[in-house]
Amino acid sequence: MQPHVNEGTVSVHLARFLLEAVRRSGTSLGRFARLPDLDPEVLRDDLSRISSPTALVLWEQLTLTEPASAIGALITHHAPIGTFGIWDYLLTTGGNLVETIERAVAYLECIGDPAGEKLQTTEDGPHFTIRHTTGPWAPDVVEAIDIFALATFLTRARAATRRPVVPLRVTFTHRAPHQHRHLVEFFGTRTIEFNSPSNSLTLLDEDVRAPLPKAQPGLEKILMRHADLTLATSRPVLQWRDRFRATLIAALHEDTASLDHVAQRLAMSPRTLQRRLGDLGTNWREEIEAVRQEHTMDLLRTTDLPLQSIAARVGYSDVRALRRAVRRWEGRPPHALRQPTARSR
């Protein structure tokens, strides 16, 4: 397997799943039509790789639609085996769960962004633990992705073993919600700990070592060869300008939107980045202003997020800076741009 050849992208299977989850939430998909890597032709190609910032836009919409519902776990009810392509079969085909989970971790790139997602497995006596971390995005988006990752492993473990596997313990780095009934129902245990050092799912040895009922010796090698071929022939959709914009959007989410940092993410010097932008008739300041404006207007017109939250999401230090920027762009204050339809969602 070639590691990290698809940095900054996720599989088209994951993108299709997230887009469908957004559609099921009742949100119009029209606002996503402007995103070049969500074009229907792109989504029909199993070798397409979708930019991580585009995937984050979809995650953000899901958290805005269902802000207190443990959406990361709930959407997995609509993800039967095969939803995530070859990765699903790597995770459910083999001698036992120890083998399949470790293989799925090694081939994380088949579903997610190898630069943004990290998975680790450990064994401690009779316990087998999976740990997950993602990038420093907006807190509610990070929480949804962390829950989704652990929930996906559990649904696949249950499908592979054909048993109602119940974890010994589930932990999250996030603070406890006002109620976590949905999480208790999904994971099947009340032993869910918050404010923990890691996001983890701990399974019992008797579950992870039990022979899988449909094991077919040798099939996993065929699947691994297919996964290698898929990764080697996959195609990131975005061209250079779009990749730059996607990287800049991600940096704004991470609060690291400096010229040096973005240039480093694009594997070039700051001077080369400035020259490339100049060749396109633009510059760093104009690009960062354009991205902030586009994202701000989108959030103001389609969500009820407080101004403080919007300011943080688009990289402004406080609400006053956001208000000044909106007046500069639109000649009106932020509240004048909010639409009644956003409040009624």
Residue of 345, 327, 87 whose CA lies nearest to 337: 327
Supply the CATH number for residue 288's domain: 1.10.10.60
Cα–Cα distance measured from residue 319 to residue 338, given in angstroms and rounded to the nearest whole number: 15
pTM for the model stands at: 0.76
Residue with tokens 């010994």: 168
Please tell me the predicted confidence (pLDDT) of residue 343: 45
C-alpha distances in Å from residue 273, one per residue of 257, 263, 286, 294: 14, 6, 13, 22
Q: Are residues 160 and 59 in the same domain?
A: yes
Q: Is residue 1 part of a domain?
A: no
Q: Output the six-digit token pair for 131.
A: 């740990």
Q: Are residues 275 and 209 in the same domain?
A: no
Domain edge (last residue) among 216, 233, 250: 233
Cα–Cα distance measured from residue 179 to residue 86, given in angstroms and rounded to the nearest whole number: 35
Characterize the bridge pairing of strands 235-236 and 199-204. unpaired
pLDDT digits (tens, 9 = 90+) for 247-257: 887 777 666 78
pLDDT digits (tens, 9 = 90+) for 110-122: 999 988 899 999 9
Domain edge (last residue) among 182, 216, 233: 233
Cα–Cα distance measured from residue 100 to residue 257, given in angstroms and rounded to the nearest whole number: 38
Q: Is residue 338 part of a domain?
A: yes
Max mean pLDDT range (7-11, 146-150, 243-247, 274-278): 146-150
pLDDT range class, residue 235, cuts 50, 70, 90: confident
Is the pLDDT at 288 greater than 50? The verdict is yes
- 223, 151 in Cβ contact below 8 A? no
- Domain containing 213 equals 9-233
Q: How many domains does the chain have?
A: 2
Is the pLDDT at 278 greater than 80? The verdict is yes
What is the DSSP secondary structure assignment for residue 312, as one 8-state letter? H
Q: Are residues 227 and 250 in the same domain?
A: no
Domain edge (last residue) among 202, 233, 264: 233
One-letter identity of residue 183: L
Q: Are residues 176 and 262 in the same domain?
A: no
Q: Are residues 211 and 335 in the same domain?
A: no
**What's the mean pLDDT when you consider all of the chain?**
89
Query: Which residues does residue 128 pair with via DSSP β-bridges, in sequence order?
Result: 123, 203
Q: 100 or 9, which is more confident?
A: 100
Q: Are residues 70 and 126 in the same domain?
A: yes
Q: Are residues 48 and 156 in the same domain?
A: yes
Please tell me the predicted confidence (pLDDT) of residue 267: 66
DSSP states of 110-179:
GTS-TTT-EEEEEEETTEEEEEEE--S--HHHHHHHHHHHHHHHHHHHHHHHTS----SEEE-SSPPPS-
